[in-house]
Amino acid sequence: MPMKRYSAFAIAREAMRNHTGWDRAWARAEPKARYDAIIVGAGGHGLATAYYLGKNFGITNVAVLEKGWLGGGNTGRNTTIIRSNYLQDPSAAIYEKSRSLYETMSQDLNYNVMFSPRGVIMLAQTHHEVRGYKRTAHANALQGVTTEWIEPARVKELCPIMNIDGPRYPVLGGLWQARGGTARHDAVAWGYARACSAMGMDIIQQCEVTAVRQENGKVVGVDTSKGPIDCDKLGMVVAGHSGVLAQMAGFRLPIESVALQALVSEPIKPCMDIVVMANTVHGYLSQSDKGEMVIGGGTDGYNNYTQRGSFHHIEETVRALVETFPMISRLKMLRQWGGIVDVTGDRSPILSKTPVEGIFVNCGWGTGGFKATPGSGWAMAELMAKGHSPLTDEFSMFRFREGKFIDESVAAGVAH
Amino acid sequence: MLILHCPCCGVDADETDLHAGGQAHLTREGPGSSDDDFEDYLFLRENPKGVHFERWRHVYGCGKWFLAARCTNTLEVFGTYPAQTTEPPQHIKDIISQKRPGWSWGNFS
């Protein structure tokens, strides 16, 4: 579907004619009988996968199926943080690919995703973290990821509202990634959706997959709430519901689904122009463009599909952050929500072939998937088109039985 | 707030008094097991949207472990029972069958 480009000229033109000329951002579609590839899940990762299938491999006979509304799952529920300061090489490769794609995403998609490379600090508040982050800084230097270890005085300079002399968790320094930051999460999904639609792909909302059809160990299609659809290749990109979909296809994933929460305060004047992650106290903080303090918390300890999460986790998160950010003790909290995150044993994602030929799975991003959206889509598209990708080779779902973990759970590159 | 009845000490315990211990009724494989069985035991877990069986510990109470049958979709609790069993007791299964006809979980239904 041809689409008018967004530009300053288009805004001026529409301003002159009372904004009557804006088209739908993407086309409403009904399913066709058959596609070359079907992506289940129209969140950021699913839409990015479809986009790079078209852009990098010319595969445009693609449908993206979404049981709810586009970007209504974890894509719209995260704290929008982008960074790539991971310890292990495979993680750094895919997250840095992703971060670099964010740099030009607004131009690539002709959609303003408001990428704001304002800088991310991972605070070190224990001696263990000091050693861990110095090690990560060295690893990042070898991986070509630009990060640096900074001393407490520099932390204070970057974030004046922080109390670095707290009695329980003094700030001992931090791992600073100057080109990390945030982006508008909804716009990432909307921008990809628009670009996919422009390439002729069908984005079909309120279309729930109810069964996965196979013949001789190969996928042939899916049954949906809008009828059966045939396909050659199927990409499952459904985060928290990956286990449910895998069960339909007849295999199991090393994944458990838990609720992860976030909350925002009332809007206040600008007071903090970077992102701070404080892993020891399990909280992270940034200020949105609207002025709200965006606070991310911890996951519940038990399996859950309710998109709410337990109240006491919020209390723990905020209580812990107050020592380091005393000013938030006077803030009223405005909204709280939860998303269902898919957590693997080594806290690293799965981008993999599956026991069923033609089915590929992209899941397990757990508590940190938003930052990976473009890189994940890029790698997943290559995997689906060519059968392998240098970015996904290490992220196979079979790595657990082989003992080839990508262990970020103890590497302090992950907040939880 | 999730509230579970501790079958060991009889207290209705708040979530904050409990520690979640993951999936219940795991078969603990040992030496001589196949690779498939070991992968199952170590890494693969039931992750249903619906009926689930879990281990919990009444950590700020009597300190004992027990098992719970719960719905992960609604947070409804079907019942709790002592940990010294390899499958859910019949009365728990009956309650679940009444509320979730046709349920299945692992080898149980």
CA B26 to chain A, closest CA, distance in angstroms equals 14
The label of the residue with tokens 């607004």 reads A106
A47-95 pLDDT tens trace? 999 999 999 999 999 999 999 999 999 999 999 999 999 999 999 999 9
Can you tell me the mean pLDDT for A175-199? Answer: 97
Positive or negative, the CA dihedral A12, A13, A16, A22 is: negative
Q: Do B49 and A241 touch (CB under 8 A)?
A: yes
pTM for this prediction: 0.94
* Cβ contact A364:A409 at 8 Å: no
Q: Which residues of B touch A254 (CB under 8 A)?
A: 43-45
Per-state percent for chain B, helix, strand, coil, to nearest 5: 20, 30, 50
pLDDT value at A199 more than 90: yes
**Considering chain A, what is the average pLDDT of its residues?**
93
Higher per-residue pLDDT: A283 or A124:
A124
Read off the pLDDT band of A1 (50, 70, 90): low
Share of chain A above pLDDT 90, in %: 85
CA B67 to chain A, closest CA, distance in angstroms equals 13
Q: How far apart are CA A188 and CA A371, in angstroms?
A: 11
pLDDT tens for the 109 residues of chain B, in order: 899 999 999 999 999 999 999 999 999 999 999 999 999 999 999 999 999 999 999 999 999 999 999 999 999 999 999 999 999 999 999 999 999 999 999 889 8
pLDDT value at A409 more than 80: no
B73-97 pLDDT tens trace? 999 999 999 999 999 999 999 999 9
CA B41 to chain A, closest CA, distance in angstroms equals 10
Residues 6+ apart with CB under 8 A from A116: A181, A182, A183, A289
Read off the pLDDT band of A410 (50, 70, 90): low
Read off the pLDDT band of A374 (50, 70, 90): very high
Read off the pLDDT band of A412 (50, 70, 90): very low
Say if residue B77 is exposed, middle or buried (CB neighbours under 10 Å; 0-12, 13-18, 19+): middle
Q: At CB < 8 Å, which residues of chain B contact A?
A: 1-2, 15-16, 19-20, 22, 35-36, 38-39, 42-45, 47-49, 52, 54, 70, 72-75
Please give the residue of chain B at the shortest CA–CA distance from A312. Answer: B16
pLDDT value at A413 more than 70: no
